[in-house]
Amino acid sequence: MIGTIINVVAIILGSFIGLLFHSKVPEKFIKIAFVGIGIFTLVLGFKMALESNEALFMVFSIIIGSIIGEALDLDKRLNDLSNGLKKRLGNENDNFSNGLITAFLLFCTGSLTILGAIQEGVEGTYELLMTKSLMDGFSSIALASTLGVGVLFSVIPLVLYQGGLTLAAGQLQEYLTTPMITEISAVGGLLLIALGLNILELKEIKVTNMLPSLIIIVLFML
């Protein structure tokens, strides 16, 4: 879990720096930065999705996972949770939920997250998560400066997800094959594409409802 702890510290520090800049940056610059983040998210998503070697599994995973997420209404549940947290903090920023969800998806759906968590869980080393921490630290500066304090609180689901992967990897290492990791990352790329469309306000997609797809692809690859 040391790698995840370092990752959390990097995001917290980056978020504080971004929040400091947020109050000093003109609105027009924040908007253009927002566009840049959206384009970057789309490019990253396409790159990850195109690495898939099992296109049919990927498509069926996103369809089945989205149906399950819609039935469970995960988007509403997470928004209610983040809004409850916002009220407890007395925060009036309308972007709180958006910042939390956007940052979590960006920080947690990449192959580096999965590979880094597995490396620490199986080998006890955390070089990959150190690299990820550096990247996430700089990314959190840009995200927090545009989306606000919600980015800071994305470390809560990050700890649960990434830390959980690390703990599970130690127990399930024989099942975590390279093809499975590739396909999980590819489905994560589809989620990032949907997220990028949201950020650019091209299409409103409930990305949270698509999260079960990451579980469905694992079942397909067993």
Write the pLDDT tens digit of every residue in 98-107. Answer: 888 889 888 9
> What is the band of 123 on the pLDDT scale with cuts at 50, 70, 90?
confident
Higher pLDDT, 61 or 203: 61
**What pLDDT is stored for residue 89 in this prediction?**
65
Spatial CA neighbour of 181 closest among 115, 119, 130, 117: 115
Q: Total domain count for the chain?
A: 1
Residue 111 pLDDT: 66
Q: Rounded mean pLDDT of the chain?
A: 86
Hey, what amino acid is at 57? F
Query: Model-level pTM?
Result: 0.79
**What is the domain range of residue 63?**
2-221
pLDDT at 91: 61
Q: Give the range among 79-88, 134-143, 211-220 with minimum mean pLDDT.
A: 79-88
Contact status, residue 215 vs residue 64, Cβ threshold 8 Å: no
| Structure-block tokens of residue 196 | 């990028």
Closest of 93, 213, 218 to residue 150, by C-alpha: 93
